[in-house]
Amino acid sequence: MLLAVPAETRAGERRVAIVPDAAKRLIADGWDVTVQSGAGQGASIPDDLYRAAGVVLAGDARGTMDGADMVVRVHAPDAAAAALHPEGALHLSFFQPNEELEALRVLAARRATVFSFDLLPRIGRAQSMDALSSQSTVAGYRAGLLAAEHLGRFFPMFMTAAGTVPPAKVLVMGAGVAGLQAIATARRLGAVVHAYDVREAAKEEAESLGAKFVDLGVRAEGVGGYARDLSDEELFRQREALAAEVAASDVVITTAAVPGRRAPVLVTTDMVERMGPGTVIIDIAADAGGNCELTEAGREVVHAGVTIVGVANPASDMPNHASFLYGRNVANFCGLLSEQGSLRPHWSDEVVTGSCLLRDGRPLHGPTAELLGVPLASFEDGGDEEAGP
């Protein structure tokens, strides 16, 4: 079994899909691992550490993937990179079909079997493979640090001979994995933190970290622990109730997302204009359109004295530990794809089936089938699980 790790092609991406620690584990499980030379450079992982772990290094992406049974990336490839994917090989990465449709078409034509961490079932047994959660942990921590960096005031209360400085007031919108980490980070830095989420289950978790939960009376419990889309009426009620909380905050950190959809707009232009001068909004949902109406991904926008930071790809800002966590997720997932040194995906396992976009180039995911304009295949179409990919 040959597992290939090419360098990431997305602009600004510094993570790598496998670190030496994870490579050692995979090799012990019967995999051969090839990594493109320099792939770990952005995460401060030199080639020598890969060699010491038993990894083979290749000079370019084509050489890295030559003869591979499985290709692992952080992000989905673009169409050009997908064209280098070995015929019939497996692929694993974050992969949103609607955002990488051309690459998906290329992989389908190459009869690839594609797994996406974006579709991983949110069940207890899959937690060790949950790359969305591991990378959201990094993103939430980074959001708290960015908030302190951009606010021109102290986060904690200071009592000095010159007088007492009150603590910063931080509002965190969205108390999922990223939001909870943002709460914890802001609290560690000494801020007074309020938290808001449309999921009732988030209240206890936010309060356990020292935040005061803001209850607006709008509930949107979704499937698998995620929030569902709000109706237009619910969005209006939510924004009206949130306006006062936003206006009273020194910092607003927004983390709300609905998988596969545009991020909900929680902070309108009018709400921004009610905030005080020098206040800050950190929007880590910028890549999905942003939770603030004025967010621009990868840019800082100043409007009415308020700085709106559209954080693009926040986990990449802490590439070393983000890669370490991601590599562990990959190694754990690969345990469901191999057995006794042979590539044998466990097609009876709901984690495997739930995260599969394509099997042998045929869509096993409804929205993917619609995007490709072909019929939805069944898992039985690919043969039994003893027959390989």
Structure tokens belonging to residue 131: 């790359």
Torsion, CA 189, CA 148, CA 14, CA 116, rounded to 10 = 70
Q: State the pLDDT at residue 386.
A: 41
pTM over 0.85: yes
* d(C-alpha 22, C-alpha 18), whole Å: 6
What value does the mean pLDDT take over residues 150-171? 94
Rg (CA), the chain: 22
Q: End-to-end CA distance of the chain: give it in Å, rounded.
A: 12
Query: Would you list the DSSP string of 124-170?
Result: GGGGGG-HHHHHHHHHHHHHHHHHHHH-SS-SS-EEETTEEEPPPEE
Burial of 34 (0-12, 13-18, 19+ CB in 10 A): buried
pLDDT of 14 strictly over 70: yes
Burial of 66 (0-12, 13-18, 19+ CB in 10 A): middle
Contact call for residues 332 and 26 (beta carbons, < 8 A)? no
169 Cβ neighbours under 8 A, 6+ residues apart:
191, 192, 194, 248, 249, 250, 251
In the chain, the domains with their CATH numbers are: 2-129+320-387 (3.40.50.720), 138-312 (3.40.50.720)
* Cβ atoms 372, 114 nearer than 8 A: no
Amino acid at site 302: V
What's the pLDDT at 182? Answer: 98
Tens digit of pLDDT for each residue in 276-318? 999 999 999 999 999 999 999 999 999 999 999 999 999 999 9
Output the pLDDT for position 377. 87
The pLDDT tens digits of the residues spanning 92-120 come to 999 999 989 999 999 999 999 999 999 99
What are 306's strand-pairing partners? 303
Active site residues: 122, 127, 130, 133, 226
Sign, CA dihedral 119-28-107-290, equals positive
Among the ranges given (150-154, 259-263, 370-374), the one the predictor scored with the smallest mean pLDDT: 259-263
**What pLDDT is stored for residue 388 in this prediction?**
47
User: What mean pLDDT comes out for the span 318-329?
Assistant: 98
Write down the pLDDT at residue 232.
67
Contact 195, 176 (CB under 8 A): no
Cβ atoms 58, 35 nearer than 8 A: yes
Kindly report, residue by residue over 247-267, the tens digit of the pLDDT.
999 999 999 987 778 898 999
- pLDDT at position 60 is 97
pLDDT digits (tens, 9 = 90+) for 191-245: 999 999 988 788 999 999 999 999 876 555 554 545 556 666 666 777 777 899 9
Helix (H) or strand (E) holding 299: none
Tokens of 120: 């991983």
Distance (Å, whole) CA 84 – CA 87: 9
Give the number of residues written for the chain: 389
Tell me the C-alpha to C-alpha distance, in Å, between residue 180 and each of 136, 144, 185.
10, 10, 9
Q: What is the pLDDT of residue 217?
A: 67
Strands (E), 19-98: 32-36, 56-58, 70-75, 90-94
Q: Are 359 and 377 in contact (CB under 8 A)?
A: yes
Average pLDDT rounded to a whole number, residues 319-337: 97
> Which residue has tokens 């097609």?
347
Side chain identity, residue 342: S
Tell me how far apart the alpha carbons of residues 382 and 70 are, in angstroms, rounded to a whole number: 17
Band of pLDDT at residue 383, cut at 50, 70 and 90: very low
Handedness of CA 74, 13, 172, 231 (dihedral sign): negative
> Mean pLDDT for the chain?
91
CA–CA dist 269, 364 (Å, integer): 41
The torsion angles phi and psi of 342, rounded to 5 degrees, stand at -120, 150
